[in-house]
């Protein structure tokens, strides 16, 4: 056969090559693969030589052994565009490390030939664009210690053979599209130190075989669809330091055995369907640093030993049904973050907060805390939210003078007195719905950071100070509604260039609406922002602003779109004078409520300029004149109320105006036209009685004529014959008269015809 | 800039559409998100439409009743291009559908006939084509139907005479054919409601057999 000598030669060459660890096949394989790539990226410059001989051991990212054979190939972040299909894995028998991560255009599948790299210890293919299933042949790599395929688009289930590789120390498969269940063979990974399966679609229960993972320090399974209970065998994982099981569908109790783990520092169980009480021994055996129990259905008391070893920094238990706190919490001086919002906790706030010098983020909102705030709230506090509790008394001076405080939310409590607040870092101050009283709170007059100020629903009185205009350069939301403020609206408000939401409703303000408010720059321009949230960056977390806003008759909480709300609410005051024409320059307004005042004069002619307006409420004033035709330009208007005024004339027609009802215009004596039932007459605007149609109108006329004719006949008949009947002398007189006339007639006729 | 924010809000919309089957109670929000996905919105009018919210009642251009059900959709004159999808029919409590003066294309979905509470349907001044769906005769509460200034074809469905609450109708400036019904509310509509439909032949001839010709 002619091919057999060739075959023999090739075999000889191969043998020769392997004996000499022939780098020639290795370099050929590298170059062949590189030329198969659509774009080799940096490989072009990395894999070049100056000499005639191509010695890859001199190339960037390549290490060789003493025999000159490649043992390490490192091509991370090389902007490679192509696939691994033409990569001849079998040409690299001595390869121990393969780093090919962070090439976002490296696509296609992982070829099964990768299983031929018998000496491979480290395999890193993360942060690429690889698809398809994980090849089972990887389980042939009996020396593999590190396997990192995370941040790709791999699909299918994790092959059970892979979870059987006892050589593995680090297994990272997170951030893919893996499905199926965690194989029970996982128990064989006795050397495993870190397991990342997070951010996939893995279902089923956590296998009980995890008890064999006695070397595992990090168990990361968050963001999957794991269900069932956490196996109590977890208590046997003696090296476990971090357990992150968040964002799954785990049910049942936390197994009590978890408290026996001697090395557990971080236990993250948030966002599952766990319930029951949390074992009171949790924290007894280990140095807990971080706990996340949030968004589950836990009940009872927060476990008392969490802070036993004095290391607990992060305690997150929001959105459960806890009712009690352990007294040990007050002495947990290592705490930096405490979040218990939305539980049913009934506790004295002064017994909860206190000895926490490092506590910077506190959220106790929406519970049943009572009592008064302690004075030693810690000097490092960044964010304090107590909203929705039953706390009373005053605000401690230490808090009011805090130089670090950025977010303070005291709304919906029973606080009664606000001291001078001199917190220069404050960005958000909510104090609404308390029992605060006195004049406009003495705030420091130089707030370069304040974005939101809400002191509505209290008993503040006195004037709104004019320095407000020059003291809040970045203020976006100003809410003073539902107080007893009086006096004039200070025109200096117009200097607030970032103001978006202005609410002075339900006070005793009088006088005119200052026309210079048209200078509020942030309301003049139409909202053109990419960011619809208002966020505060506080201690490496993003806190989002939210307010409860009454709009279109419904009160709702606005958070995701709060930065888009642009409105003025001066309703329910005693404002007088005209609505300034200049106000119509505020083209960014989506809501304008001036109802329930004593505003007079006409609605400005150019009201049509407010093209973003969705809500316009001018009801219950004494506005007169006609409704300007330009109102028909407001094509976004979905709520309109002009009722209870003194408006006259024809209601303009227009596309949005056609969609409103009678009730939106009612109680305006001179107003006519659709949608009111009364038509307008062309020469004057008096009311015409309701008639169905012209024929009906004529009908009534005809009836009147007929009636009066008949009446005339009846009266005439009875007057004449009645008189004849009753008065004899009249009868005589009439009959005599008739006889005389008859005689005269006969005489005349006789004379004429002879 | 605008396109990237559109992309982000659309992506967030679609992301929650795909990954949140538990939000079944938010089906009106899902319907509006599906509606938004067919549209191009250069003025970012729909920027506030965030699917992750419990209900769409805080979205701009959407009005809800006291039970958080959508009653108005006001997107007139908003420079929107796109098609109308069947999901609009899921807004069971919708009373006012204001989509006039945009560039909506394609057909009027027959699912709009499911909006049994609809009082006002304003689709005028768009580029809608195809026939007027017969299913619109199910809109028993309808008082205002304005489809003028589109490219609608076909005949006026006879079934529309059953809409006894209809007060204002405008089909002018289209490409409708056949004859105009004369029964029911159609007896009150002035001829201007049908003008500029070149192939429309005038009022129907009543007799033993009423028929459309030239269609």
Q: What is the pLDDT of residues A618-659, one digit of tens each?
A: 999 999 999 999 999 999 999 999 999 999 999 999 889 989
The reply to whether residue A637 touches residue B74, judged by beta carbons under 8 angstroms, is yes
pLDDT of the residue at B23: 42
- Assign residue A538 a region: left if phi > 0, alpha if psi is -120 to 50, beta otherwise? beta
In angstroms, the Cα distances linking A100 to A27, A44, A75, A116 are: 17, 15, 5, 17
Nearest CA to CA, how far is A507 from chain B (Å)? 26
Q: Indicate whether A31 pLDDT > 60.
A: yes
The reply to whether residue A554 touches residue B76, judged by beta carbons under 8 angstroms, is no
CA atoms of A670 and B52, how far apart (whole Å): 47
Residue A189 and residue A171 in contact, taking contact as beta carbons nearer than 8 Å: yes
Out of A530, A639, A655, the one facing B5 most closely (by C-beta) is A530
pLDDT of the residue at A390: 96
pLDDT of the residue at A267: 96
Out of A530, A556, A636, the one facing B61 most closely (by C-beta) is A636
Residues of B with Cβ-Cβ distance to A532 under 8 angstroms: 47-48, 50
The nearest alpha carbon in chain B to A661 belongs to B119
Nearest CA to CA, how far is B209 from chain A (Å)? 32
Return the CA Rg of chain B: 18
Strands of A646-650's sheet, edge to edge? A624-626, A646-650, A670-672
Q: Indicate whether A378 pLDDT > 80.
A: no
Out of B1, B58, B98, the one facing A659 most closely (by C-beta) is B98
The nearest alpha carbon in chain A to B1 belongs to A530
The reply to whether residue A655 touches residue B52, judged by beta carbons under 8 angstroms, is no
Query: pLDDT digit string (tens) for B46-104?
Result: 999 988 887 899 899 999 998 999 999 999 999 999 999 999 999 999 999 999 999 99
pLDDT of the residue at B210: 58
Q: Indicate whether A506 pLDDT > 70.
A: yes
Q: Indicate whether B21 pLDDT > 50.
A: no
The reply to whether residue A635 touches residue B57, judged by beta carbons under 8 angstroms, is no
pTM for the full model?
0.81
Query: pLDDT digit string (tens) for A208-258?
Result: 999 999 999 999 999 999 999 999 999 999 999 999 999 999 999 999 999
pLDDT of the residue at A3: 56
Residue B45 and residue B99 in contact, taking contact as beta carbons nearer than 8 Å: no
CA atoms of A720 and A710, how far apart (whole Å): 16
The reply to whether residue A564 touches residue B60, judged by beta carbons under 8 angstroms, is yes
pLDDT of the residue at A698: 57
**Bridge partners for A543 per DSSP:** A536
The reply to whether residue B57 touches residue A556, judged by beta carbons under 8 angstroms, is yes
pLDDT of the residue at B10: 61
Nearest CA to CA, how far is B61 from chain A (Å)? 7
CA atoms of B60 and A567, how far apart (whole Å): 13
The pLDDT confidence band at residue B211, using thresholds 50, 70 and 90, is: low
At residue A577's C-alpha, the angle toward residues A574 and A581, to 5°, is: 125
The reply to whether residue A556 touches residue B44, judged by beta carbons under 8 angstroms, is no
Out of B5, B78, B120, the one facing A659 most closely (by C-beta) is B120
pLDDT of the residue at B199: 87
Out of A552, A561, A637, the one facing B48 most closely (by C-beta) is A561
Query: pLDDT digit string (tens) for B142-178?
Result: 999 999 999 999 999 999 999 999 999 999 999 999 8
pLDDT of the residue at B124: 96
Residues of B with Cβ-Cβ distance to A590 under 8 angstroms: 60
Token digits of residue A214: 């006695």
DSSP state of A77: T
Residues of B with Cβ-Cβ distance to A655 under 8 angstroms: 76-77, 98, 100-101, 122
The reply to whether residue B63 touches residue A552, judged by beta carbons under 8 angstroms, is yes
Interface test with B, best of A295, A556, A633, A664 (most B CBs within 10 A): A556
The nearest alpha carbon in chain A to B12 belongs to A560
Out of B1, B47, B61, the one facing A614 most closely (by C-beta) is B61
Q: Which residue has the higher pLDDT, A61 or A367?
A: A367
The nearest alpha carbon in chain B to A590 belongs to B60
Count A/B contacts: CB-CB distance under 8 Å.
74
C-alpha neighbours within 13 Å on the C-beta side of residue A299: 4
| Nearest by Cα to A342 from A308, A294, A307 | A294
Rounded to two decimals, the ipTM of the complex is 0.85
Residues of A with Cβ-Cβ distance to B59 under 8 angstroms: 561
Q: Indicate whether A688 pLDDT > 50.
A: no
CA atoms of A308 and A322, how far apart (whole Å): 20
Q: Which residue has the higher pLDDT, A53 or B145?
A: B145
Residues of A with Cβ-Cβ distance to B53 under 8 angstroms: 560
Q: Indicate whether A2 pLDDT > 60.
A: no
**What is the pLDDT averaged over residues A512-523?**
92
Q: Indicate whether A596 pLDDT > 70.
A: yes
pLDDT of the residue at A718: 84
**Bridge partners for A670 per DSSP:** A648
**What is the pLDDT averaged over residues A554-579?**
91
Strands A105-107 and A251-252: unpaired
* Mean of all residue pLDDT scores within chain B: 87
**What is the pLDDT averaged over residues A93-116?**
93
Residues of B with Cβ-Cβ distance to A635 under 8 angstroms: 74, 76-78, 101
Which of A88-97, A513-522, A565-574, A686-695 comes out lowest in average pLDDT? A686-695
The pLDDT confidence band at residue A686, using thresholds 50, 70 and 90, is: very low
Q: Indicate whether A17 pLDDT > 90.
A: no
What share of chain A in percent tops pLDDT 90?
64
Interfacial residues of A (vs B; Cβ cutoff 8 Å): 528, 530, 532, 551-554, 556-558, 560-561, 564, 590, 614, 635-639, 655-656, 658-659
pLDDT of the residue at A690: 40
Interface test with B, best of A271, A501, A530 (most B CBs within 10 A): A530
The nearest alpha carbon in chain A to B2 belongs to A530
Interfacial residues of B (vs A; Cβ cutoff 8 Å): 1, 4-5, 44, 47-48, 50, 52-53, 57-61, 63-64, 66, 68, 72, 74, 76-78, 96, 98, 100-101, 120, 122, 144, 168
Q: Which residue has the higher pLDDT, A11 or B45?
A: B45
The reply to whether residue A656 touches residue B74, judged by beta carbons under 8 angstroms, is yes
Out of B53, B66, B74, the one facing A638 most closely (by C-beta) is B74
pLDDT of the residue at B188: 92
**What is the pLDDT averaged over residues A265-292?**
95
The reply to whether residue B64 touches residue A635, judged by beta carbons under 8 angstroms, is no
The reply to whether residue B44 touches residue A528, judged by beta carbons under 8 angstroms, is yes
Q: Indicate whether A349 pLDDT > 60.
A: yes
Residue A582 and residue A607 in contact, taking contact as beta carbons nearer than 8 Å: no
Torsion sign, CA atoms A415, A420, A426, A430: positive
pLDDT of the residue at A238: 95
pLDDT of the residue at A146: 95
**Angle A694-726/A728-753 helices, nearest 10 degrees?**
90
Burial tier of A720 (Cβ tally within 10 Å: 0-12, 13-18, 19+): exposed
Residue A95 and residue A71 in contact, taking contact as beta carbons nearer than 8 Å: yes
Residues of B with Cβ-Cβ distance to A556 under 8 angstroms: 57-58
The pLDDT confidence band at residue A422, using thresholds 50, 70 and 90, is: confident
Q: Indicate whether A525 pLDDT > 80.
A: yes
What share of chain B in percent tops pLDDT 70?
83
**What is the pLDDT averaged over residues A581-601?**
95
Residues of A with Cβ-Cβ distance to B29 under 8 angstroms: none
Out of B4, B98, B168, the one facing A656 most closely (by C-beta) is B98
Query: pLDDT digit string (tens) for A458-502?
Result: 999 999 999 888 889 999 999 999 999 999 999 999 999 999 999
| Residues whose CB falls within 8 Å of the CB of residue A557, separated by 6 or more in sequence, listed in order | A546, A547, A548, A549, B58
**What is the pLDDT averaged over residues A280-288?**
91
Q: Which residue has the higher pLDDT, A522 or A622?
A: A622
CA atoms of A386 and A412, how far apart (whole Å): 9
Q: Indicate whether A695 pLDDT > 60.
A: no
Residues of A with Cβ-Cβ distance to B48 under 8 angstroms: 532, 560-561, 564
Residues of B with Cβ-Cβ distance to A552 under 8 angstroms: 63-64
Query: pLDDT digit string (tens) for A147-167?
Result: 999 999 999 999 999 888 999
- Tell me how far apart the 2 most distant CA atoms of chain A are, in Å: 175
The reply to whether residue A532 touches residue B98, judged by beta carbons under 8 angstroms, is no
Residues of A with Cβ-Cβ distance to B66 under 8 angstroms: 553-554
Q: Indicate whether A14 pLDDT > 80.
A: no
Q: Indicate whether B125 pLDDT > 60.
A: yes
Nearest CA to CA, how far is B148 from chain A (Å)? 13
Out of B48, B74, B98, the one facing A564 most closely (by C-beta) is B48
* Mean of all residue pLDDT scores within chain A: 89
């Amino acid at each position: 056969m002619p091919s057999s000598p060739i075959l023999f030669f090739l075999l000889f060459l191969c043998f020769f090559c392997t004996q000499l660890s022939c780098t020639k096949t290795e370099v050929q394989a590298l170059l062949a693969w590189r030329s198969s790539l659509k774009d080799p990226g940096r490989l072009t410059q990395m894999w070049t030589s100056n000499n005639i001989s191509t010695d890859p051991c001199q190339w960037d990212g390549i290490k060789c052994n003493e025999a000159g054979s490649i043992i390490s190939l490192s091509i991370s972040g090389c902007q490679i565009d192509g696939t691994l299909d033409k990569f001849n894995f079998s040409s690299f028998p001595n390869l121990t490390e393969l780093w090919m991560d962070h090439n976002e255009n490296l696509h296609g599948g992982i070829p099964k030939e990768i299983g031929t790299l018998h000496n491979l210890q480290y395999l890193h293919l993360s942060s690429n664009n690889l698809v398809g299933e994980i090849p089972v042949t990887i389980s042939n790599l009996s020396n593999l210690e590190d396997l990192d395929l995370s941040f790709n688009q791999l699909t299918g289930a994790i092959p059970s053979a892979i979870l059987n590789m006892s050589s593995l120390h680090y297994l990272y498969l997170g951030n893919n599209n893996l499905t199926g269940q965690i194989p029970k063979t996982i128990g064989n990974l006795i050397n495993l130190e870190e397991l990342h399966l997070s951010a996939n679609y893995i279902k089923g229960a956590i296998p009980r075989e995890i008890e064999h993972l006695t070397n595992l320090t990090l168990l990361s399974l968050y963001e999957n669809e794991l269900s069932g209970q956490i196996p109590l065998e977890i208590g046997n994982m003696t090296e476990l330091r971090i357990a992150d099981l968040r964002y799954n569908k785990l049910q049942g109790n936390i197994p009590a055995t978890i408290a026996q783990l001697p090395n557990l520092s971080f236990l993250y169980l948030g966002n599952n369907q766990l319930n029951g009480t949390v074992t009171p021994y949790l924290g007894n055996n280990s140095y807990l640093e971080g706990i996340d129990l949030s968004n589950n259905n836990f009940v009872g008391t927060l476990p008392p030993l969490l802070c036993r070893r004095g290391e607990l920094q992060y305690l997150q238990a929001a959105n459960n049904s806890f009712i009690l706190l352990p007294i040990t919490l007050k002495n947990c001086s290592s705490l930096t973050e405490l979040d218990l919002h939305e539980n049913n906790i009934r506790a004295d706030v002064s017994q909860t907060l206190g000895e926490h010098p490092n506590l910077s983020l506190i959220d106790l909102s929406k519970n049943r805390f009572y009592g008064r705030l302690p004075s030693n709230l810690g000097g490092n506090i960044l964010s304090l939210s107590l909203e929705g509790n039953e706390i009373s008394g005053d605000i401690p001076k230490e808090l009011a003078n805090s130089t670090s405080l950025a977010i303070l939310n005291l709304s919906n409590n029973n606080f009664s007195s606000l001291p001078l607040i001199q917190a220069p870092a404050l960005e958000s101050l909510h104090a609404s719905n308390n029992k605060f009283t006195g004049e406009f709170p003495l705030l420091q007059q130089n707030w370069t950071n304040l974005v939101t100020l809400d002191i509505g629903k209290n008993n503040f009185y006195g004037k709104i100070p004019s320095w407000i205009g020059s003291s809040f350069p970045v203020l976006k939301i100003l809410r003073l509604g539902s107080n007893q403020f009086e006096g004039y609206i200070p025109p200096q408000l117009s200097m607030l260039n970032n103001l978006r939401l202005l609410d002075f409703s339900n006070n005793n303000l009088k006088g005119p609406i200052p026309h210079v408010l048209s200078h509020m720059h942030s309301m003049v321009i139409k909202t053109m922002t990419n960011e619809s949230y208002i966020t505060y960056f506080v201690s490496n977390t993003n806190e989002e602003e939210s307010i409860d806003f009454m709009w279109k008759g419904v009160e709702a909480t606005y958070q995701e779109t709060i930065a888009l709300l642009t409105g003025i609410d001066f309703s329910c005051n005693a404002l007088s004078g005209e609505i300034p024409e200049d106000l119509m320059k505020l083209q960014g307004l989506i809501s304008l409520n001036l109802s329930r005042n004593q505003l007079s004069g006409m609605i400005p002619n150019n009201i049509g300029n407010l093209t973003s307006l969705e809500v316009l409420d001018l009801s219950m004033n004494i506005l007169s004149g006609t409704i300007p035709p330009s109102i028909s330009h407001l094509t976004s208007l979905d709520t309109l109320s002009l009722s209870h005024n003194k408006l006259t004339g024809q209601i303009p027609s227009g596309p949005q105006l056609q969609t409103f009802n009678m009730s939106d215009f009612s109680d305006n004596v001179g107003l006519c036209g659709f949608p009111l039932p009364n038509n307008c007459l062309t020469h004057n605007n008096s009311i015409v009685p309701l008639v169905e149609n012209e024929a009906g109108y004529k009908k009534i006329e005809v009836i009147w004529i007929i009636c009066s004719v008949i009446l005339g006949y009846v009266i005439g008949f009875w007057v004449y014959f009645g008189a004849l009947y009753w008065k004899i002398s009249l009868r005589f007189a009439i009959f005599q008269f008739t006889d005389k006339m008859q005689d005269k007639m006969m005489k005349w006729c006789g004379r004429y015809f002879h | 800039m605008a396109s990237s924010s559109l992309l982000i809000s659309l992506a967030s919309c679609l992301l929650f559409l795909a990954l949140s089957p538990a939000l079944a109670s938010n089906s009106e929000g899902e319907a509006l998100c599906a509606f938004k996905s067919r549209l191009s919105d250069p003025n970012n009018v729909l920027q506030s439409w965030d699917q992750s919210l419990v209900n769409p009642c805080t979205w701009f251009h959407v009005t809800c009743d006291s039970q958080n059900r959508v009653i108005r959709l006001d997107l007139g004159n908003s420079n929107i291009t796109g098609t109308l999808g069947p999901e609009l029919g899921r807004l069971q409590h919708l009373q006012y559908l204001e989509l006039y003066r945009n560039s909506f294309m394609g057909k009027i979905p027959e699912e709009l006939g499911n909006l049994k509470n609809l009082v006002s349907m304003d689709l005028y001044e768009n580029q809608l084509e195809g026939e007027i769906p017969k299913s619109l005769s199910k809109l028993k509460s309808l008082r205002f139907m304005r489809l003028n200034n589109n490219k609608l074809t076909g005949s006026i469905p006879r079934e529309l005479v059953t809409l006894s609450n209809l007060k204002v109708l405008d089909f002018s400036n289209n490409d409708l054919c056949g004859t105009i019904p004369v029964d029911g509310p159609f007896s009150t509509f002035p001829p201007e409601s049908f003008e500029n439909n070149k192939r429309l032949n005038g009022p129907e001839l009543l007799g033993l057999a009423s028929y459309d010709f030239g269609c």
